[in-house]
Amino acid sequence: MTPKIETTNEKKLIGKRLIMSLVNNRTGELWKSFMPRRKEITNNLTNDLISMAIYKPTPFAEFKPANEFEKWATVEVAHFENIPTDMETFTLAGGLYAVFYYKGSSADHSIFQYIFGTWLPNSNYDLDERPHFEVLSDKYKNNDPTWEEEIWIPIKPRQ
């Protein structure tokens, strides 16, 4: 699986976030609190959902399933006016990304094992310390084996 290398512009996001780890995965809780209220965000640029993860610097060098990270459930917006109660804003800086088109269940983590264990070490890129995100259509179905999504991994040219 070869990714498309893309440079993205800055994105303005509105949504909700939780601190979690792989051991204490609260992704379901996060999306259950966000999805019923996503229509309160009135200035969306698309109908896509964005699932974003912010890791501490060098998260994979000292990887442990208990390492905490920040997970967001968001949508991209034109501006930060009219932010719904209990939601937050985030400005995702633009930059270089490896974009993987994935089809399969969100419960199958083999794509990430491939990205970080095979593709990245054999590429001309290093992991960059920026947020990772996935773009999901508004018809997203959790754990559906026919589901398709885009996985955006921040990269920088290897020196």
Q: Tens digits of per-residue pLDDT, 19-74? A: 998 889 999 999 999 999 999 999 999 999 999 999 887 655 567 778 889 999 99
**Residue ranges covered by each domain of the chain:** 4-157
Q: Which helix (H) or strand (E) holds 21?
A: none
**Per-residue model confidence as pLDDT tens digits over 94-123:** 999 999 998 877 666 788 889 988 999 999
Rounded-to-integer distance, Cα 88 and Cα 16, Å:
6
Helix (H, G, I), strand (E, B) or coil at 138: coil
Rg (CA), the chain: 15
Q: Which two tokens stand for residue 133?
A: 């995100």
| Residues 97/6, Cβ–Cβ less than 8 Å | yes
Which of 87, 68, 85, 73 minimizes the C-alpha distance to 27?
A: 73
Q: Which two tokens stand for residue 120?
A: 């990245």
- The class level of CATH for 4-157 reads alpha beta
